[in-house]
Amino acid sequence: MRPPDTKQRLLDAAEQLFALRGFHATSLRAITQAAEVNLAAVNYHFGSKEALLDAVMARSLGPLNQVRSGRLDEVERDAAAENRAPDLRALWRAFVEPTLSMRRHETGAEHFLSLVGQALAQPHGAVMEVFMRQMTPMFLRLFELTCLALPEMPRQLLFWRMHFAVGSLSHLMRCNDQSPVLPAGITAEIDVDTLTDMLLDYTLAGLEAPR
């Protein structure tokens, strides 16, 4: 009647409750009750409540970055095959699209995005360190490939412009479920592909802007 092991059950219950009601608003007792395990199991398997959040986040972030990494491989391979610089739009599409299309394919995507937002806002959160350790190689690789695609642009300038681009994406991730401010005559509902193209148009124009 309760086949999966305790660790998995805790991860599943925690992911849902953390995202739904927030990290601090969720008690360990609520999680262990939902998972139908003992209260002390959390500290036995993970060590602390925050370490449980770490594990939940790492479980989703790993596969996502694996997809991104594979798509960056493709872009690099295409460029090498035709002996040219990598295509800027293909590059950023490889980075952006897996995240945005999570909502379509994965279940609990909004849970994951909500968790990332919460984790990154903590000042001394060990969670942010986990996130950064996972994301840093991806950022560095994307930066170097962007420099190759825009060889005329100073690296220092591109660094900051990439910072702006990442900000646009992360803000979009954070606000994608709850509608932000809606001016009159504007609807927030939009197709994922259209949204991806709009973000790419915006980002590429900013990256390539004259000084």
Site string for DNA, 31-70 (x = CB under 7 A): ------xxxxxxxxx-xxxx--------------------
- Asked if 32 is part of the footprint of a copy of itself (rule: CB under 8 A), the reply reads no
CB closer to a copy of itself out of 64 and 147: 147
- Quote the least distance from Cβ 46 to DNA, whole Å: 8
- Asked if 140 is part of the footprint of DNA (rule: CB under 7 A), the reply reads no
Task: Say how many residues touch a copy of itself, by CB under 8 A.
Answer: 61
What are the helix (H) ranges across the chain? 6-21, 28-35, 41-45, 49-81, 88-100, 102-105, 109-121, 126-149, 155-175, 192-208
Residue 75: closest CA among 84, 85, 89, 86: 86
- Asked if 21 is part of the footprint of DNA (rule: CB under 7 A), the reply reads no
CB closer to a copy of itself out of 34 and 120: 120
The total number of residues written for the chain in this structure: 211
**Position among 12, 16, 30, 141 found at the interface with DNA (CB under 7 A):** 30
- Quote the least distance from Cβ 41 to DNA, whole Å: 5
Residue type, 196: T
* Under 8 Å between Cβ of 70 and 48: no
Question: For residue 207, how many other CB atoms are within 10 A of its CB?
Answer: 20
- Asked if 161 is part of the footprint of a copy of itself (rule: CB under 8 A), the reply reads yes
